[in-house]
């Protein structure tokens, strides 16, 4: 769909692909960001946009000479990974529960971590950079090592999916775990302290920022890149274990070569060139969708997901949505829905069906088909997936 320019009076315009009116709080959050003096050209809102902290989830913000730590968020490098296997649906028959139990045994979820650290993790080339990270995390290297290859909680998940041709895909959603959270909190607090000292009158304290050329900016950028690398490798480690589980049950342990592999961030910042200028692009709940970029747009634990390819739409800063987007808060979902609703909405999916995941019920999310229709100018759909196994964090 074509984007629309929101009718709000801000120094930088706000372009929206959401195809619906923003609520009062959402509109104010968009205004706050678009009023910052270093925002470049305009702010882009994706179809799944909803309330966040400081900046809207589902927003893309390009900045000149400054960066907003809270806009990146606390799960630095959170994103998705997926692989297409050579297997087909009939090869999974009668095996789904065993596959789910083996996934849960192989990959720690929630607050759990690995009991032992495997060699591929200890050999990661960036561990030697740990000593240069923010001093507030210096005692966390051991924990970070044990958490690499773990899922986390909330809306993180691992899924076995089928596409419309009954081909089997493996997909997961996770980020930089506790270490990314701690690094983010350290720098967000520093930015807020600097804003107070400078007497900055920010529209929201969570929009405290760092200016390029300062030591604080350099320290945040270094830690940000480290955490983004950690998040990507964390997904790689989990996917390798996930792949071995499926190989064991489908092919007697014989390894397969993926037909397609995708690993993309959706909470992160990078240096990019847009409209002929060097800028810092922060995607808070958005995926890069440059021409030929592959991305992943998941629905919910009972809905379709999509493998997409970017169209390089300039006005979106070559971006697309990162999912369906929440329709209601976690607390509201728990109050509105029952366990029977969850069982009904996840029919046909091998997954947990208890009150512990009630806040992740499909009804708490926006309809994914509507979200996809609203970004047909941003991406083309390569594969449509539906889960048959779902492991939640």
Annotated binding site for GMP: 155-159, 266-267, 298-301, 305, 322-325, 392
Task: Name 296's Cβ contacts closer than 8 Å, sequence gap at least 6.
Answer: 80, 81, 82, 171, 262, 264, 287, 305, 306, 307, 308
* 178 neighbors 110 (Cβ within 8 angstroms): no
CA dist 21 → 2, 7, 41, 62, 362 (Å) = 15, 10, 22, 23, 22
With H, G, I as helix, E, B as strand and everything else as coil, classify residue 192.
Answer: helix
CA 353, 355, 357, 360 dihedral sign is positive
Assign 348 to helix, strand or coil: coil
**Residues with catalytic annotation?**
322
Q: What are the b/e assignments for 362-377, b being 16+ CB within 10 Å?
A: bbbbbbbeebbebbee
Do residues 296 and 163 lie in contact, with contact meaning Cβ atoms separated by under 8 Å?
no
User: Which of 221, 199, 209 lies closest to 76 in space, CA to CA?
Assistant: 221
Cα–Cα dist 122/212, whole Å: 33
Annotated binding site: 75, 155-159, 173, 266-267, 298-301, 305, 322-325, 392
Please state the residue numbers annotated as binding site for Mn(2+).
75, 156, 173, 266
Please name the residue ranges forming H helices in 126-214.
141-147, 177-198
């Amino acid at each position: 769909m074509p984007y629309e320019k929101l009718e709000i009076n801000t120094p930088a315009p706000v372009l929206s692909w959401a195809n619906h009116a923003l609520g009062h709080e959402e509109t104010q959050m968009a205004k706050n960001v678009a009023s910052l003096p270093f925002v470049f050209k305009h702010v882009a809102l994706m179809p799944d946009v909803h309330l966040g902290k400081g900046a809207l989830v589902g927003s893309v913000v390009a900045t000149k000479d400054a960066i907003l730590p809270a806009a990146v968020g606390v799960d630095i490098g959170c994103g998705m990974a997926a692989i297409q296997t050579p297997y087909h649906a009939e090869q999974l028959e009668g095996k789904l529960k065993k596959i789910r139990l083996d996934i849960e045994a192989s990959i720690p979820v929630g607050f759990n971590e690995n009991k032992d650290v495997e060699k591929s993790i200890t050999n990661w080339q960036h561990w030697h950079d740990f000593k240069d990270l923010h001093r507030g995390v210096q005692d966390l290297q051991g924990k970070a090592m044990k958490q690499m290859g773990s899922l986390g909680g909330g809306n993180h998940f691992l899924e076995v999916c089928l596409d419309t041709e009954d081909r089997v895909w493996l997909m997961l959603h996770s980020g930089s775990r506790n270490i990314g959270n701690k690094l983010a909190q350290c720098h967000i607090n520093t930015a807020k302290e600097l804003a107070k000292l400078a007497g900055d009158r920010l529209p929201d304290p969570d929009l405290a920022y760092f200016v390029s050329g300062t030591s604080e900016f350099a320290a945040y950028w270094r830690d940000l890149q480290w955490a983004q690398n950690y998040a990507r490798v964390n997904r790689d480690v989990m996917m390798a274990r996930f792949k071995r589980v499926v190989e064991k049950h489908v092919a007697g342990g014989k390894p397969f070569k993926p037909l397609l592999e995708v690993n993309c961030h959706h909470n992160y910042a990078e240096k990019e060139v847009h409209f002929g200028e060097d800028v810092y692009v922060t995607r808070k709940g958005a995926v890069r969708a440059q021409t030929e970029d592959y991305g992943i747009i998941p629905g919910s634990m009972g809905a379709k997901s999509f493998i997409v390819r970017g169209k390089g739409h300039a006005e979106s800063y070559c971006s697309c949505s990162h999912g369906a987007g929440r329709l209601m808060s976690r607390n509201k979902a728990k109050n509105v829905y029952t366990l029977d609703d969850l069982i009904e909405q996840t029919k046909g999916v091998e997954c947990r069906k208890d009150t512990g995941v009630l806040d992740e019920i499909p009804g708490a999310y926006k309809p994914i088909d509507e979200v996809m229709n609203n970004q047909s100018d941003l991406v083309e759909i390569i594969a449509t997936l539906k889960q048959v196994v779902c492991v939640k964090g």
